[in-house]
């Protein structure tokens, strides 16, 4: 994709066309990592082919797994992984680094340095290192306390009972993968639900997961298990689909239809928030890919009421919040998005960056600590802006440019390739503009 995107959105409107979004990033990365550790040949159908998932592929190859592309499906020949000869570069993928740390921590004889780009090396790693050390993991910070690069030396682990202090699918996933090599049972308790893709996928690879609910808490029990190769079908990525949900609701025209998108309830928080605000959305479940529900979404132009997002809802919409803030700017009244602190630990400080991008297009959004206050409806104006190095902020800027109409220029737009390659081509196919 070009690094600078120039778009003339004069007369932009939705055409009622159907769109199929690329495969789910979170599910693709998990399938690659588990396939590398499993005995046999894992086949991943409809994977997301993007920068973050390629980082995961490169990582498992550095660890000794063989990978091939067979007519668009990724084949991972797994088994016994080996210590790499050089640091493993996870690029920009926090999911891949954190989950891989958990996976390698229990492999006797393994020694690996896990690193990434400047953004990834600035993100907090203590949230996985501390509980993994409680299991007996030997993990060392090599440069700065609390951040990558990490040196992981595999050793025998011990199962623990651990209550999650923050709602994080990456932390939970790292502990679950470590539990596969630990003596005894590992019990992970979360008071606030987070994405459950790891729980959904592990049984496909022969690792039983037992889940129970008690007094509002969710407990996940995992024992040691030898992974066996699996066949994984990857649904369309809901976070990518949410771009079209927002555009379909806010733009003039005939709306948008999205097909084959994952409808996991732990990912649908932003869609539910849009429905609560009055968005004209129809959701149809059509099938299951493994344990993941898949279906279609239709979104039509809508008048929105103010959005009120509570902290407990944030983990279920964490990647969609920048776009949800844009939707709030078009609602009739003041919207309040609370408990956004986790956004400060992503590829950028997404609270600050969301407010900055909205301001560049003429929208006032007040950041008060971990809360965004956004009045509406506000008019957007075309502009020239820098997307930085955050793919979610690039998609926000693209949506703003389409809603603003006229000519906008977006620099560093290639950051969108991390999760949604060729999105600008998809826009040309689905949105009518000059």
Instruction: Cite the active site residues.
Output: 319
The alpha carbon torsion through 222, 177, 267, 115 (nearest 10 deg) reads 160
Q: Report CA 320 to chain centroid distance, whole Å.
A: 9
Count the Cβ atoms, other than its own, within 10 Å of residue 286: 12
Q: Helices 94-105 and 169-179 meet at what angle, rounded to 10? A: 20
Separation CA 103–CA 106 (nearest Å): 7
For residues 341-361, one letter each, b for 16 or more C-beta atoms within 10 angstroms of the residue's C-beta and e for the rest, the string is ebbebbbbebbebbbbbbebb
Q: Helices 25-37 and 51-62 meet at what angle, rounded to 10? A: 10
Separation CA 112–CA 36 (nearest Å): 15
Q: Helices 94-105 and 126-134 meet at what angle, rounded to 10? A: 10
């Amino acid at each position: 994709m070009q690094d600078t995107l120039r778009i003339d959105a004069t007369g932009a409107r939705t055409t009622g066309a159907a769109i199929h979004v690329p495969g789910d990033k979170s599910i693709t990365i998990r399938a690659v990592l588990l396939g590398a550790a499993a005995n046999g040949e894992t086949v991943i159908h409809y994977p997301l082919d993007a920068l973050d998932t390629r980082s995961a592929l490169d990582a498992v190859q550095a660890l000794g797994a063989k990978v091939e592309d067979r007519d668009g499906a990724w084949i991972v020949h797994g088994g016994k992984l080996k210590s790499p000869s050089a640091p493993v570069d996870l690029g920009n993928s926090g999911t891949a680094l954190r989950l891989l740390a958990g996976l390698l921590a229990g492999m006797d004889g393994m020694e690996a340095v896990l690193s990434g780009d400047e953004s990834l090396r600035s993100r907090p790693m203590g949230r996985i290192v501390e509980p993994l050390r409680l299991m007996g993991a030997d993990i060392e910070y090599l440069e700065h306390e609390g951040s990558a690069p990490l040196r992981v030396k595999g050793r025998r682990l011990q199962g623990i009972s651990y209550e999650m202090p923050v709602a994080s699918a990456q932390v939970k996933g790292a502990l679950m993968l470590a539990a596969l090599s630990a003596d005894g049972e590992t019990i992970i308790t979360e008071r606030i639900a987070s994405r459950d893709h790891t729980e959904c996928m592990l049984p496909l690879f022969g690792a039983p997961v037992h889940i129970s609910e008690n007094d509002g808490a969710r407990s996940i029990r995992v024992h040691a298990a030898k992974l066996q190769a699996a066949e994984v079908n990857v649904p369309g990525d809901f976070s990518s689909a949410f771009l079209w949900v927002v555009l379909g609701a806010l733009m003039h025209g005939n709306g948008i239809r999205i097909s084959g998108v994952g409808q996991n309830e732990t990912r649908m928080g932003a869609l539910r928030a849009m429905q609560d605000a009055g968005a004209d959305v129809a959701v149809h479940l059509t099938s299951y890919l493994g344990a993941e529900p898949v279906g279609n979404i239709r979104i039509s132009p809508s008048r929105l009421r103010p959005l009120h997002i509570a902290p407990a809802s944030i983990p279920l919409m964490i990647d969609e919040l920048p776009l949800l803030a844009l939707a709030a700017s078009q609602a009739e009244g003041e919207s309040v998005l609370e408990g956004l602190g986790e956004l400060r630990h992503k590829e950028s400080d997404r609270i600050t960056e969301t407010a900055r991008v909205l301001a560049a297009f003429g929208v006032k959004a007040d950041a008060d600590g971990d809360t965004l206050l956004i009045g509406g409806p506000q008019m957007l104006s075309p502009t020239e802006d820098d997307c930085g190095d955050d793919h979610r902020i690039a998609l926000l800027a693209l949506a703003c440019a389409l809603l603003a109409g006229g000519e906008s220029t977006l620099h560093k737009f290639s950051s969108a390739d991390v999760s949604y390659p060729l999105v600008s081509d998809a826009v040309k196919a689905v949105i009518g503009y000059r």
